[in-house]
Amino acid sequence: MTLLEFSQKFPSEDSCIEYFKKQKEKQGVVCKKCGSKEHYWNKTYNSHDCKQCRYRTTLRSGTVMESSKLPFKYWLYTIYLM
């Protein structure tokens, strides 16, 4: 993929968030607190919230991005460069 193709595929922060969301859902989201696999998407916090105990699992949780405040677009671009 060229830089131009990357920019077209991921034109905004929201498109990058959607990509990371789909990747996390492919792996399966499991609540760290109660073990439930039932979640709903919380767009305000970019997180999967547990339907059982309301524990919030953000897209950054358990990743190298966990303590980062950088935009998702920067992270996706960095991964692309690797």
Instruction: List the domain boundaries for the chain.
Output: 3-81
Quote the pLDDT of residue 48: 97
Report d(CA 13, CA 43) in Å as an integer. Answer: 13
Task: Tell me if 76 sits within 8 A of 15, measured CB to CB.
Answer: no
Over 90: is that where the pLDDT of 35 sits? yes
Q: Which residues contact 72 (CB under 8 A, 6 or more apart)?
A: 13, 16, 17, 20, 59, 65
Over 90: is that where the pLDDT of 40 sits? yes
Q: What is the mean pLDDT of residues 72-79?
A: 94
Q: For the whole model, what pTM was predicted?
A: 0.85
